[in-house]
Structure 1
């Protein structure tokens, strides 16, 4: 039995003396990361009343992942950073012209709001959901600038997520022309459907990964999809559905 325990105590930059504890344990081919979900950098502002609340995060994934014959999609949380913050690039909001904000949880339009294009984020590309859970939709510049190496997070299937700036490029591109339905207007990145996968246009596959030195690795990129949104390995149930239920609380965009 092999067990590796790493505990990090991080001083928060939020004007308080609270310590965020992150623990990583590798045992019986499972890697488990626990944290209180409070980032070490400043957060906000967002909408009035939206604040970061401490969480009881416990995400376990395969410590020896392997590529399977099935690609898994519709995973709620893409991964967990080495600093204990979930990666949640997708949203549950859709274009809805009948609402004041222009979107709701009614999927009828088919136009899914892209977090980094249509919701309010702080300077680190993150915000909170309705339960106060802080998460990233895009690249947190303060976090990646502090990496000792390229390892940024672990994905829902256990493969590494690395960040190497512009050394790796997504193969997802904005579509040309105008939207033919829903919100209308040009494909500008407000909605997920504004993008299309163009194989070979970048260095990464549809899931934002590639083989590197004989191992499959995902990459966090500065452009869409930012983090993997599909997975080549076996996804842990900890990352599917909302934390504490199948339907996640709404984002406070």
Structure 2
């Protein structure tokens, strides 16, 4: 793996320095982030009738995470930003030529629609689900542009998520050539299966993480997978649920 040419300032912003409707507390070995899920930036538009609804988010994770011997892939939400907005890069949609819009929640095709590039997002690479829960699928420039340092949020296993722009490079790459099945056409990033992990092609591992100054951290990147989609620590139950994301390779 290549070496990141940066030294991270691992500094936690206080809740008061983030947003009034976000609370970040540490009690013993648990860090908890609560929020109403409403961002302090413009949102939408998406489909007709889709609007941001206030939530009662409460996500607790390990405040002193440690690496484990296993990798966890089944998560509902990858992490949460310091501003209290969930990170949910994956989708439950699959290529389905029998539907008018070309996809559905029937996974039989095996081609999972990627959020960024496959579904309608706003200018912050986000949208709302059926309950009006606003969540990011990709990098929100309105958030990363206001960071005091590089700390962006926390992953489902408690490890920090940092954003350092092009100083951290994903090792997931678009496959070459055309798709041999399913939707056909070139591997253009519309589907998760358009990507493959190529060890050493970037600075980050399979889970979009790296060891920095003796500490393991994840990175939010401008390219796929955008946020960690697998986890090397113990994932909190607050983030687990839903259909497990399919492999991209």
TM-score (norm 2): 0.91
Q: How does 1:24-39 map to 2 (within 5 A)?
A: 24-39=24-39
The question of whether the paired residues in 1 share the 8 Å contact of 2:92 and 2:243 is answered with: no
- Picking from 8, 27, 32, the partner of 2:16 is 8
1:62 to partner: Cα distance:
0.1
Q: Distance in 1 between matches of 2:224 and 2:74?
A: 16
Aligned match of 1:88: 88
Q: What is the match of residue 101 of structure 2?
A: 101
Task: Give the conservation status (yes or no) of the 8 Å contact 1:30–1:63.
Answer: yes
Structure-1 separation of matches of 2:101 and 2:182: 15
Q: Secondary structure at the match of 1:34?
A: strand
Q: Which residue of structure 1 lines up, in the alignment, with residue 4 of structure 2? A: none
Unaligned runs of 5+ in 1: 12-19, 249-253
Q: Give, in angstroms, the shift of residue 74 of structure 1.
A: 2.2
The Cα shift of 1:28 comes to 1.6
Shift of 1:155: 0.3
The residue aligned with 1:145 is 145
* Aligned match of 1:205: 205
Q: 1:207 to 1:28 in 2, by over 3 A?
A: same
Higher strand share: 1
Moved over 2 A (4+): 4-11
The aligned residue for residue 59 of structure 2 is 59
Query: 1:138-217 counterparts in 2 under 5 A?
Result: 138-217=138-217
* Shift of residue 75, structure 1, vs aligned partner: 1.0
Deviation at 1:76, TM superposition (A): 1.2
Structure 2 spans left out of the alignment, 5+ residues: 1-11, 245-249
How far, CA to CA, are the matches of 2:138 and 2:43 in structure 1? Answer: 14
Q: Secondary structure at the match of 2:84?
A: coil
List per-residue Cα deviations over 1:194-222 (Å, max 9, x = no partner).
Answer: 00000000000000000000000000000
Cα distance per residue 1:147-167 (max 9 Å; x no partner)? 000000000000000000000
Instruction: Confirm or deny: 8 A CA contact 2:18 2:82 kept in the other structure.
Output: no
Whole-angstrom distance in 2 between the partners of 1:217 and 1:5? 17
Q: Which has the higher contact order (CA 8 A, sep 6+)?
A: 2
Residue 8 of structure 1 deviates from its aligned partner by 3.1
Taking the aligned partners of 1:212 and 1:24, their CA distance within structure 2 comes to 24
**What is the distance in 1 between the residues matched to 2:134 and 2:236?**
21
- 3-state SS of the aligned residue for 1:8? helix
Within a 5 Å distance, the mapping from 1:103-122 to structure 2 comes to 103-122=103-122
> What is the alpha-carbon distance in structure 2 between the residues aligned to residue 168 and residue 5 of structure 1?
21
Distance 1:159 1:229, change over 3 A: same
User: Following TM superposition, by how much is the alpha carbon of 1:247 offset from its aligned partner in structure 2, in angstroms?
Assistant: 6.5
User: What SS does structure 2 have at the residue aligned with 1:108?
Assistant: helix
Normalising to structure 1: TM-score of the pair? 0.89
What SS class does the counterpart of residue 161 from structure 2 fall into?
A: strand
